[in-house]
Structure 1
Amino acid sequence: MGTPVWIGPYRVQRLLGAGSFATVWLGHDPALDARVAIKVLAENWSHDLRVRERFRDEARLLRRLDHPRLVRVHAVGELPDGRPYAVLALADGGSLRDRLAAGTPPVPLALALLDEIAAGVAVLHRERVVHRDLTPGNVLFTSTAAGERVVIADLGLAKALAAASGLTARAGTPGYMAPEQDDPLAVVDTRSDVFGLGRLGLRLLGGPGPRPHLGGVPAPVVAVLRRATAPRPADRYPDADSFRAALRRAAGPSADPAAAQPPPCPRPTDARHPAAGSGEPLRPPATRRPREESPSVEASATGRAGPSAGRRAARRLGLAGAVTVTLVALGATGGDTARSMADDRWGRSGPVSVLLPPGWRAAGTGWAGRYDARGRLEPALVVSPDPARWATDPTVPGAFVGLSATLGRRSTPADFVAQRPHADCVAAPVRRVGRGATVWVVARFTCPAGRPVLVEAAARAGRAGLLYAQVVPPPGSGPDVVDALLAGVRVRPV
């Protein structure tokens, strides 16, 4: 099908991806003023009643479970041609497949990720549901107010345990599905998902293939994965909770996400997940936008940076707590970042510094979801009179400023800005603002709801990469205010 303008009441912005059974579009929900992923049954399956019912079953199941560890369904509908669609929460951090494309993470981070994946699968098992297709592409990352969360997606093959046997066709992905899933008459239960978790663990730890090499992995962890991937279901752990408990015992302190130190991890790609993710920086919310659509820098709500902030920093590349991954160390309201500068007129994140307008402060020390080649968060910060409120209150002016070496290798400033249209907003002509060696490409949008003016800007920062700024100027201000703010952005040579 061509690119639709609307799917139901949702305005389509662009294609996120296409698979064998479905096409997924990035859409705009006008009621919530939020981005969503719209999953539509593929045209070639529109007349297959079994596939149509499987598609609807997935949406019904996710809606019924409605858990933070699972991709959430906002609504369902049907196109004029009768094909069903589901409106899903957008997983803006992409998939595990995207991140593994750059290489495997270090052992502590891999174990923390596997722990969180198992926790999501355990939600299904407690509800007597078996996923049956656990792969890196079905493990997604979504931003929240506290950082980043792992969520389980694509329950198209999931079945209630009472109906999980006697299937009429093979179900699963080679390399991850259990041996019994190749037998149409075999009983498929939670132990089949345990096999998938074991295979995911091998992939995370760099040991895929028939004879995985797991150098540097603790022997007890290897034993857990060996039992999880046993050919006979009876020899595996009974469910995801049991697997997770065994993994934590085997790994010791490193299995506790709250205790994990921040090891370097490979840079994830910015590939857009075909099911519900896009790897883009998040748009600032308008009046009714949910909190999880906040900017990609996590700003401190309290304005204090104490021991808890240090613990959050120590977990920013691993999984924090039972629910979220804390991706950034929280800046004080001008505190830690300002103290590293010559005076308190500057906010800084890594090599990026911003001259603060009078009365403004800075918060944040990293760009959530973006990593450099050494596995560190790429630098970013929010500057505003109230950084914590800027993410949720459309009346508060401010700016998100980030520097990405990875984006600099793949995109020009003009292309990057062109990829950031805003639904229902009127765009002014793109202009260029030169400040010495830095030339900003600037697009200004006037919007009927939420933030009345929104500015997208990008510039080349030499070998350091691509500078990106999203600015909400003070009410009634002109372009000169934005230009002055951009002129105050500096990048220290690295």
Structure 2
Amino acid sequence: MPARLGRYAVRRRIGSGGFATVWLAYDEQLDSPVAVKVLADNWSEDHQIRQRFVEEGRYLRKVESPNVVSVYDAGELDDGRPYLVMSYADQGTLADRLEVDGLTVAQAMEVVRQVGAGLQALHDRDILHRDIKPANVLFRSVDGPTGQTVRAMVGDLGLGKALDMSSRLTMIAGTPTYIAPEQASAQAPDARADQYSLAALAYLLLTGRPPFAHASLSDAMHPAELPPASTPERPFPPEVDQVLRRGLARSREDRYSSVTEFVRALDRALGPSTSGAPTQPWLERDPELTQPGPRPTLPPDHGALPEPTLPRRRGRRLAILSVVGLLALVVGATAGYAVQHERRPSERTVFDSTGTLSVTVPSSWDRADALDGWTPPGTDTQMPALSVGTSPDWAAKGSDEGVFLGLLSATDLPDAVPQHPECDSAGRTVDDTRDGDASMTVVYSDCPGGTVLVERIVQVSTNTLMWVQIRSDDRATANGVLDDVETHGL
């Protein structure tokens, strides 16, 4: 993890894909968080991919709309890779929201309204998006007249194209569920292709199911008959089906003349309950998405161990996606000192974002995943770390449970682990060597709330220590979590 990207101080990784990685960074001159998108190293020599990456920034910079992600700056790293500095969507994506909760009809219409406004702003500058889908609808906290609310923004113009160049477009690109038939068949698309994608998104948000089950772009070339939007559980006026059917017409000539016209027709068809300005806040902010991760409980005289500064955590659903994505990287790895056991259904395994650390915890420990590392005090080096517990501030509440793992640079074990005088009983220091890794462990019991607290320091390499802190209601759970702490690649 880089310490800086250009003049921007890196805080954590937000996400990555096949072509780029996005980092949460801080603009120290303007005192503001930003998202920095960096072209992946393996594509830095591909002229076409590099050009498309740079074009995304140029397209976004041309558009002045609150519903389109803003580009503030651009540059190149020392290794020549380009980067874009953009507005930070602290409330995640529409895809994140849909993994956990559905939307009400009014909320769905407001998403369509705001995304439609963003698309129309692009079209007014003769720019196509060509890849509208839930993952490319971003949410950001903004200050409004009645306090903070959430704004939907169109992002990721990696497939975007100027309309005057669309006739020369021969590459088929897009997501099968949302792509217009003419775009799937490599015809030159126009703004009505984005309208089709928005209509498919609207159908999904209103009904809770995608309009089609396209498994490939060839399926999208010949879409099936659109199923009715209404169900006995969620009925809609007949006019809604008419609007959606027109927006998803196979022939673009049968669609509305503009995105704005489609949005207005859908708003009218849904009736008075969704028309006009939305009640604020129209979408609940998720404070956990930007809440700092918990910090291990340390007394002032903790000696040689620094106090961790954990990054802002991603939502629980995003952490789960990170685990899935990293699992393939660590399957079969044998590095580390932990005793392994068969994972039970009531447990889940969490990895940090680099795949260096992992721990298996009870499934009820599903809050406050902070996976993207920490910077030990006195250094400017980002080190792997993770934290997970039963509440966002598990370490501060004596009755809650959780675990923190963090690496730090050191050549020797400290003289003692952090002390906890708030606990009534402290076990003896256990010095051990397992798989060549020296460690020291102390178990504190009868802590506030009746919890058990475990401190362990492990020398995982000649110049790296791992600090482990566990708080649990019982010794057996703490021992099980401690046994399932692992390092990978050290």
Partner of 1:453: none
Deviation at 1:191, TM superposition (A): 0.4
- How many angstroms apart in 1 are the aligned matches of 2:268 and 2:286? 29
Aligned to 1:118: 116
Moved more, 238-247 or 417-426: 417-426
The CA deviation string for residues 229-253 of structure 1, in whole angstroms up to 9 with x for no partner, is 1111101112111111211221221
Change in 2 beyond 3 A, CA 1:87/1:187: same
Indicate the percent of aligned positions where both proteins have the same amino acid: 40
> 2:290 matched to 1:280?
yes
Distance between the aligned counterparts of 1:132 and 1:418, measured in 2? 31
2:100 counterpart residue number = 102
Alpha carbons 2:2, 2:10 under 8 Å: kept: yes
Post-superposition offset of 1:118: 1.1
Change (3 A) 1:425 1:221: farther
Name the structure 1 match of 2:138: 140
Specify the alignment match of 2:191 in structure 1. Answer: 190
SS at structure 2 position matched to 1:208: coil
What letter is aligned with 1:82?
Answer: G
Which among 343, 367, 370 is matched to residue 411 of structure 1?
367
2:166 to 160, 164, 167: 164
Asked if the contact 1:192–1:233 (Cα under 8 Å) also holds between the matched residues in 2, the reply is yes
CA-to-partner distance for each residue in 1:115-163, whole Å, 9 max, x for gaps? 2211211111222221111011110111111211111101121122111
In structure 2, relative to structure 1, the CA distance for the partners of 1:235 and 1:422 (3 Å cut) is farther
- The normalised TM-score by structure 2 is 0.56
Q: CA deviation at 1:416?
A: 5.7
**Counterparts of 2:376 and 2:245 in 1: how far apart (Å)?**
49
- State the Cα distance separating 1:268 from its structure 2 match: 7.7
- Residue in 2 aligned with 1:18? 16
**Residue type matched to 2:3 in 1?**
V
Q: What is the Cα deviation at residue 97 of structure 1?
A: 0.5
Q: 1:228 aligns with which of 213, 234, 247?
A: 247
Give the one of 235, 245, 255 matched to 2:264: 245
Residue 256 (structure 1) aligned with residue 212 (structure 2) = no
Separation in structure 1 between the aligned mates of residue 10 and residue 276 of structure 2, nearest angstrom: 38
AA paired with 2:274?
A: A
Return the offset for 1:166: 2.5
What amino acid is the match of 1:179?
Answer: P
Paired residues of 2:365 and 2:401 also in contact (CA < 8 A): no
Q: Residues 422 and 69 (structure 1 numbering): CA distance in 2 closer, same or farther, change over 3 Å?
A: farther
Aligned residue type for 2:366: R
Contact kept? 2:268, 2:275, Cα under 8 Å: no
CA–CA distance in structure 1, aligned partners of residues 374 and 35 of structure 2: 16
Aligned counterparts of 2:397 and 2:276: Cα–Cα separation in 1 = 44
What displacement does 1:112 show? 2.2
| Counterpart selection for 1:68 from 53, 66, 70 | 66
Shift in Å at residue 26 of structure 1? 1.3
Alignment of 1:219 onto 2:276? no
Change (3 A) 1:408 1:195: same
The answer (yes or no) to whether the contact 2:139–2:153 under 8 Å persists in 1 is yes
Give distance in 2, aligned partners of 1:436 and 1:282: 18
* Cα shift at 1:259: 5.4
Distance, in Å, in 2 between the alignment partners of 1:44 and 1:418 is: 22
Extract structure 1 runs of 4+ deviating beyond 3 A. Answer: 259-265, 267-270, 415-426, 431-441
Whether the aligned pair in 2 keeps the contact of 1:68 and 1:151 (CA below 8 Å) is yes
CA RMSD, 1 decimal: 4.0
Instruction: Please say if residues 123 and 191 of structure 2, whose CA atoms lie closer than 8 Å, have aligned partners that are also in contact.
Output: yes
AA paired with 2:241? V
After superposition, what is the alpha-carbon deviation per residue over 1:448-487, rounded to whole angstroms, capped at 9, x for unaligned?
A: xxxxxxxxxxxxx99xxxxxxxxxxxxxxxxxxxxxxxxx
Is 1:129 the counterpart of 2:127? The answer is yes
Deviation string for 1:324-343 (max 9, x for gaps)? Answer: xxxxxxxxxxxxxxxxxxxx
- Secondary structure of 1:198's partner? helix
Distance apart, 1:84 and its partner CA: 0.6
1:219–1:39 Cα change, 3 Å: same
> Residue 194 of structure 1 contacts residue 240 of structure 1 at CA under 8 Å; is this kept in 2?
yes
Q: What is residue 204 of structure 1 aligned with on the other side?
A: 205
Counterpart residue type for residue 194 of structure 1? Q
Opposite residue 28 of structure 2, the aligned amino acid is P
C-alpha contact 1:221 1:251 (8 A) present in aligned 2: yes
1:45 maps to 43
Q: 1:261 to 1:42 in 2, by over 3 A?
A: closer
**Shift of residue 178, structure 1, vs aligned partner:** 0.5
- Residue identity matched to 1:26: L
Q: Which has the higher contact order (CA 8 A, sep 6+)?
A: 1
Change (3 A) 1:54 1:262: closer
Q: 1:411 to 1:141 in 2, by over 3 A?
A: same
Q: Could you list the runs of 5+ residues in structure 2 that have no partner in the other structure? A: 213-225, 294-313, 317-362, 381-392, 404-447, 450-490
Query: In the superposition, relative to structure 1, how do residues 432 and 179 fare at CA in structure 2: closer, same or farther (>3 Å)?
Result: closer
